[in-house]
Chain A
Amino acid sequence: MIMPRGEPLLMPVNPVFIGLSLVVGLAINLLPLGRVVWTPDLLMVLLVFWGVHQPLRIGMGVAFVLGLCMDVAQSALLGQHALAYTVLSFAAIAIHRRLLWYSVPSQALQVLPLFALAHAIELLLRLVSGGIFPGWWIFLAPLLEAVLWPMASWVLLAPQRRPPDSDQNRPL
């Protein structure tokens, strides 16, 4: 196994934790805050994160189903989020071997185009199908998602950073 130098060995991931994080992400996305166009899409961050870290577990099927849920919840065009999330998940799997060799801030810089691509797909689909242009604030969303990337990699990898056998000095 080839790994970047200085990278800590991680514990195996708990599939329940992945599922739980996705459900929590979906729930936060469903917060009825009204029509705020620049809210970062938490599910996009989670899908890219797990697609990069666990490409065998979280792939395009999960992304597609979560996208359908988002479409129904937002009462958007059915399939709009599903397509964007599928493409996003594919892109995450395509870069997953390369991305983890970089430091976390440069990882954020590298996933920014992915988020921008997903939002551009949604925007394009809706403009083609007769929606209105929601305003320039929508381009803030991918930036905020990229900003969330370091935080996501800190929080979501925390359970895997535990020591294999806990003792008095390191209870967690």
Chain B
Amino acid sequence: MPLGTLERSAPPFFKQGPSALSRLAVYSALAVFLMVADARFQLTGPLRLAVATVLYPIQWAMLKPVELASRGSGYFQSLQEAQQELDAARQRMTQMGQRANQAEQLELENGRLRQLLALRDRLQTPAQAAEVIYDTADPFTRRVVIDRGQTGGVEPGSPVMDEAGVLGQVTRVFPLVSEVTLLVDRDQAIPVLNIRTGARGVAYGDPVAGNGGGMELRFMPANADVRADDVLTTSGVDGLYPPGLPVARVVRVERRADSAFARVYCVPLAQVQGARHVVVLKPLPENALPRPEPAHPAPAKRGARK
């Protein structure tokens, strides 16, 4: 039997390299460093971009069979269902056409009134259509990936909406795809306005509430005028979301004696679970609304903090 046919060769005697434990320590330290740099300081963008570019061909190739399967199942959908959907879409289009005609007239009227009052013109936000490719596999966050990236002119921070309302915000942009953090993600916050009362607030994602997740309107005083079925829209005070986009509907208000704040649960109006066609809006330009100068902090008192 030739010498090379046996699988178990003797391990090298002298050239052993660092021990397993020291290698474990080095790689673990590197991983911990990366995690801190990623979560706290957001330093890892270039590394992420490089690895994502290398991985893109594999991801693209693996997307094809999944797409094919979903398209195949759609192909065998019954004719009746398709016709029903068509009828529903036609009805909706008629209703929307009526509203659009009214809106044109109102816009004209509004423009004149605004001129009369010498108010600023409302900003037009450019938008582009995109398609959701897949949900990210990470089970600890709520994000989706859309098929427009840097080459399509998507900017980080752009609001994303579907036909019913705001869906989320672009948080990472890769050359050909970008990542949208949904409103129900725990780290996502959006400034809103209650259109019944005009009260402004901030809604946070709360994926645990209810089934499939929802949102929570935080920091509302316990005696605030919030009721179930109130509709929240973007308020526009952040200078990023255009004002007036529908965001969520209040489903439940809990007022507790032990807390100064009411707990207000909402559900997003957009289709968070299965959105397919979305619109990416350009974030409002920086100088759309002049920001107030930050108040000068009072000179620190001596001995207050050492």
Chain A residues engaging chain B, CB cutoff 8 angstroms: 1, 3, 9-13, 23, 26-28, 30-37, 39, 56, 59-61, 63-64, 67-69, 72-80, 82-83, 86-87, 90, 93-94, 125-127, 129-135, 138, 160, 164
Contacts and interface: CB of A to CB of B under 8 A. Distances in A.
Nearest to B207: A132
14 contacts: A12-B7, A26-B58, A27-B58, A27-B61, A30-B58, A31-B62, A32-B133, A33-B134, A60-B20, A79-B30, A90-B24, A126-B140, A131-B141, A164-B5
Nearest to A84: B31
Given A30-B55, A32-B133, A72-B51, A86 B31 contact: yes
Contacts, number: 156
Contact of A31 (B6, B30, B66, B179): B66
Contact of B35 (A13, A79, A86, A133): A79
Given A35-B138, A127-B140, 10 more contacts: A27-B62, A30-B55, A30-B62, A33-B66, A78-B38, A78-B47, A83-B27, A86-B27, A90-B21, A164-B1
Contacts of A69: 51, 54-55
B35 A74 contact: no
B107 interface: no
The winner among A10, A59, A86 for most chain B CB atoms within 10 A is A86
A31 B58 CA distance: 9
Contacts of A138: 139
A34 B137 contact: yes
Given A30-B55, A129-B35, A74 B48 contact: no
A14 B244 CA distance: 63
Contacts of B48: 72, 78
